[in-house]
Structures are given as structure tokens and as C-alpha cells.
Amino acid sequence: MTPDRSHIQVSIITPNYNGEAFIAETIQSVLNQDFVAWELIIIDDNSSDESIKIIESFHDDRIQLVRLDKNQGAAIARNEGIRQATGRWIAFLDGDDVWMSNKLSEQISFMRKNNYAFTYTAYEKMNEHSQKTGLITVPEKVNYHDLLKTCSIGCLTAIYDSQQLGKIYMPEIDKRQDYGLWLKILKQIDFAYGMDQMLAKYRVRSHSISRNKFLAAKYQWRVYREIEKLSFFSALRYMISYAYYGTIKSYLK
């Protein structure tokens, strides 16, 4: 039974751009949730493929499709979703990732029980064929300075409480806008809290920025200098930590 929209508790923000290959699987993973008081706001960033038809083939009043007139990038698309959100909790799920069916029930219960304003969970990595390629575990909690050293929050796992924090928007940069949002939130609160429970699956695609270490490092530096306004030497110090946790540490596993 579809709940009345006035009782929506969680707003799920999903940007879509030419996502015909995976968007149906993403939507289905939301429909499979055992927590039903959600709205899924899909912001289409002026797609030219068949993804709009796929999205419109799902007939559920909790799914909203917002179409942008021109391609503007993931940050603007996600921020439009946040603007239109009516739920207390703001969650993020990209159009090629999926959630486990108990993701919302477990995480919202965790937030309610502890009165946490910002949380994240462990997640699985998979390839374009949905084959498992790894598992990302997470620390119990992180603060602003922890996150500057290395980003331990996967966008597909993050939820923040807009009742406690208000609506907070992503910096409108080309990449790493989710990381910029986490840092912005952690300037307001002491910690984000993690559930070391695998509740989502992140798809690593062949053209993903995470596969290009040099490009990822470039955007990391831009966040330090342009968004966080760190001094050159502070940014350099955090870049060394970023390189260690993101590169050297992976070789030690």
C-alpha cells in the first residue's frame, strides 16, 4: 500500500544521466525496501537515451521524475532533488547503485535510537556485470579532520537528518561534490556515525573517476583549496594522508 505523501519520512535523491543500463535495477532496489515511507526523487540531467521511458514504466506514486532542460552535472541535479525533498531524512542513491532491502529500516532505526544527525554504512563494490569485487568497511565515527585525511563515506550510504541540520546542499563543482557536502555537514556537528554493516552495492564502471587515480587526486586537491579554503601547506599535508589511505594502504592489504 502506498503511504500518503504527507507521511513521507525519507527522501531519496537519485541523479540520472543516460542511465538506461542500470536505472531499473536501482529503482527496484528502492521498491524492495521493507521501510515504505519514502519518496524517490529522480532528477534527469537531460538524458538522450531510453532511461526516461524506463523510469516512467514504474508506476508508484512515491517515485517523482524531475527533468532538467539542459545537462548541468550531478551537483546541480542532486541539489534540485534536495530542494524538492519533503522527508525528514535525506538519502542518496546514484542511478547505477543498489540498496539491500533492509537498508532504510536498519539505518533509520540506528539514527532514531541514537539521535544521530548524519550516518553512513559499509558497502560492497561490484563491476558493470553486478559481480562482487570487494567490501568497504567503515569506521565507527569520523569528524571533519578525519574526513580531510580520507573520505570513508560512500555517497550511496549517506543519510542526514534535515530536521536537526536543515537542508544542506552540495557545492556545485564537477566532481567530489558529495565529499564537499560531508565536510560542510561536519563543520556543523562533531561526528558522522558509521554502521559497519553492508547495506548497499556500489558499481565501479570502466570510466569511473575512482579508476583514474590522477584525476581523483586533482579533484581532491580542488576540494581542499577551492571549497575548504585550506592553505597550501595544510592542503599538502592532507594530500599526503589521502595518498597513503587511498594508494599505499591498498597495497598493504
pLDDT of residue 6: 65
Name the least confident of 82-96, 182-196, 213-227. 213-227
Arithmetic mean of pLDDT, 50-69? 97
Angle at 175 between CA 72 and CA 190, to 5 degrees: 115
Instruction: State how far the Cα of 161 lies from the Cα of 112, in Å rounded to an integer.
Output: 10
pLDDT of residue 5: 62
Arithmetic mean of pLDDT, 197-210? 80
Name the least confident of 107-111, 166-170, 171-175. 171-175
Instruction: State how far the Cα of 44 lies from the Cα of 73, in Å rounded to an integer.
Output: 10
Angle at 105 between CA 101 and CA 107, to 5 degrees: 105
**CA dihedral sign, ordered 165, 17, 123, 222:** negative
3-state class of 234 per DSSP? helix
CATH 3.90.550.10 fits 5-206, yes or no: yes
69-84 as b/e, with b when 16 or more CB fall inside 10 Å?
A: eeebbbbbbbbbbbee
Place of cell 587511498: 246
Helix (H) or strand (E) holding 237: helix 232-243
Instruction: State how far the Cα of 79 lies from the Cα of 75, in Å rounded to an integer.
Output: 6
pLDDT of residue 1: 43
Q: How far does CA 98 lie from the centroid of its chain?
A: 11
- Indicate the pLDDT class of residue 174, thresholds 50, 70 and 90: confident
**CA dihedral sign, ordered 76, 71, 150, 99:** positive
Contact 34, 3 (CB under 8 A): no
Instruction: State how far the Cα of 46 lies from the Cα of 114, in Å rounded to an integer.
Output: 40
Answer with the residue of higher pLDDT: 248 or 192: 192
